[in-house]
Structure 1
Amino acid sequence: MTINMRLVSVARNGNQFVATLGSDFAPEYREERRVDQVVAEHGTLPIDDLYREVEPLSRNRGASIMTGWSWRCDLSGPRQGRPV
């Protein structure tokens, strides 16, 4: 499974299940997998109590700033077998 895949349906087939998977990026995509178990996870709420407590004490109020990061990172490396 990848983060862009979703469980579309589950059907029993003998003592197994047939899980039909779909893609967020290609609505027409379907893939079936025969499995013994199906575990579905629908996300969770973050436990962010500590973050919310210290956020007002930070200089930038918790903002993430990535100015200039993308031009310093050569993303062609992994495609050519080199690290980023």
Structure 2
Amino acid sequence: MLIDNLYTIEQFDNANEKLTATIIIDEGHKIFEGHFPGQPVLPGVCQLQIVKELLEKGLNKTLFLSEASQCKFLQMVDPTVTKKY
């Protein structure tokens, strides 16, 4: 799990069949030392894991991603530029 290590949840709401969350990514996390020095970018696999963890919290069940034939990330996640997501 990445929660409370790579990110913390600032706001979480699960009402009216809609889940919303605000997270704060730890820009000092060691993952950014290698991805990439001087230009931190949250790896796509971590982005997927964060979504999975938030969905698990909202649905109160364990989820498993069995297949993702295509996954396109539209924007880089740089925690030094934007603190909250």
Shorter-chain TM-score: which interval?
under 0.3
TM-score (norm 2): 0.26
Larger radius of gyration: 1
TM-score (norm 1): 0.26
More relative contact order, 1 or 2 (CA 8 Å, 6+ apart): 2
Higher percent of residues as strand: 1
